[in-house]
Amino acid sequence: MAGADSVPAASTLTLEQVFRAQPYKGESAKDAQFSRSGRYLAYRWNSFGEPGTDLYVHDTKTGKTLRVTTPAVMARFDAPEDIERFERKFKQKQDETAQRQAKEVAQQAYLRGDAVDMDQWENAGIKRVKKEIAEKSSAAHGRPAPSSARLR
């Protein structure tokens, strides 16, 4: 029998690691329904990093689960503009989540006493707004948008 000193020490999880902007796993299953016989369980689930929710069917007798829908399968039925819009929204959501996670990590570093530029996100937002205003103004006057170098 191994001694207590051979047991590895448990690592300590911080609240910041547990409650982070980017979750460790996907969402919980939704709209679960059993078949009339009780053998099959159908549900919608969004696994981490996957766009949308997909339909799954679990066979309680065999223990096997079948993923019925995937983005690739559904692309055959969606209009190209719907797919493009969906992909843009998905990328935007990923970018927003990555930004929230980066801010949380930076805040943790700042609280530890590390040198962190906490204004970087606000400055990037101001730069983005200036660029949008310049582009809209140029489009309204029929001129090409100014280069980003002049917006600083």
Query: Which tens digits make up the pLDDT trace of 84-104?
Result: 888 888 888 888 888 888 888
Whole-model pTM over 0.85: no
Q: Mean per-residue pLDDT for 110-126?
A: 86
The single-letter DSSP state of residue 7 is S
With a cut of 70, say whether residue 150 has pLDDT above it.
Answer: no
- Are 38 and 62 in a shared domain? yes
- Better pLDDT: 44 or 16: 44
- Are 35 and 69 in a shared domain? yes
Rounded alpha-carbon distances, angstroms, from residue 94 to 61, 121, 122, 133: 37, 16, 19, 25
Q: What is the pLDDT of residue 35?
A: 94
- Are 90 and 69 in a shared domain? no
Question: Is the CB of residue 83 less than 8 Å from the CB of residue 75?
Answer: yes
Mean pLDDT value across the chain: 78
> Of 53, 57, 54, which is closest to residue 33 (Cα–Cα)?
57
Separation CA 131–CA 125 (nearest Å): 10
Q: Mean per-residue pLDDT for 45-61?
A: 80
What domain range is 100 assigned to?
79-116
